Amino acid sequence: MVLAKAPLAGYAKTRLIPALGPHGAARLADQLLSHAVSQAAGAGADAVVLCAAPDRHHLAFQRLQQQQNVQLSEQGSGDLGARMHRAFQQAFVLHGRVLLMGTDAPALSSSVLRAALQRLEAPPSHPASSTERGCEAIDAVFVPALDGGYALVGLRRECPALFHDMPWSTPQVMALTRQRAREAGLRFTELPAVADIDEPQDLVHLPAGWTGCEASS
């Protein structure tokens, strides 16, 4: 599942407006959206669902539905945690392993997504650590973000505690998530951290040639 805002000026990537302007930020949001959906479509999952906000009617969503054969759903109301939890609830009706990502981390490639799916598929073959107990199957996988949050969460079962009353968009998110996962008895693992493109200083992490790279130099 890809959680995304419509790439509208003044609505998407608003923290980048000081560097790119409202229309430049919207263009970058569109580029990030297309890239994220393309990588998700190439990951070999059973289905790709684009969870749209404020609704599914923006032309960018309609275009990706046709080009990448993705399903469209709407995020609905509530804070980020409520919308993420709702998306997992809907997905678990049909699927036993679910990955949820945003569009802010271009380093989330198809190969990273495949690795995350594989972590949820079979018991770890490497020695147990504090977060991977013995040879039991993994319940959750995360890709932390360099800013203290995370760019991807994958689950084999629902865990509302990961999403309720979380201080989203703060450096404490990943640390609190680890704590709550342990308290909930989840066996979890992590892949290498990636950069989120949220603030003007993050533009240096865009791939060469992408919108906004010049503005960051």
The pLDDT tens digits of the residues spanning 175-202 come to 999 999 999 999 999 999 999 999 999 9
Contacts of residue 200, defined as CB under 8 A and 6 or more positions apart, other chains included, come to 15, 16, 18, 19, 20, 215, 216
Q: Are 206 and 212 in contact (CB under 8 A)?
A: yes
Pairwise CA distance, residues 137 & 142, whole Å:
15
Give start and end residues of each alpha helix (H) in 12-76.
Answer: 17-41, 59-68
- The answer to whether residue 36 is domain-embedded is yes
Tell me, yes or no, whether 210 lies in a domain.
no
For 92-110, the pLDDT digits (tens) are 999 999 999 999 999 999 9
Distance (Å, rounded) from C-alpha 24 to C-alpha 15?
Answer: 12
Cα torsion through 24, 56, 168, 79, rounded to 10:
130
Say yes or no to pLDDT of 121 above 90: no
Question: Which helix or strand (DSSP H or E) is residue 178 part of?
Answer: helix 173-183
Contacts of 168 (CB under 8 A, 6+ apart): 79, 80, 81, 149
- Find, among 109, 136, 112, 111, the residue nearest to 123 by Cα: 136
CATH number where 40 lies: 3.90.550.10
Residue percentage of the chain with pLDDT more than 70: 90
Instruction: Give the tens place of pLDDT for each residue, 162-179.
Output: 999 999 999 999 999 999
212 in any annotated domain: no
How many whole angstroms separate alpha carbon 80 and alpha carbon 44? 26
pTM over 0.95: no
Domain that holds residue 93: 2-201
* CB 140, CB 181: distance < 8 Å: yes
Q: How many domains does the chain have?
A: 1
Mean of all residue pLDDT scores within the chain: 91
pLDDT of residue 50: 97
Q: Is 37 part of a structural domain of the chain?
A: yes
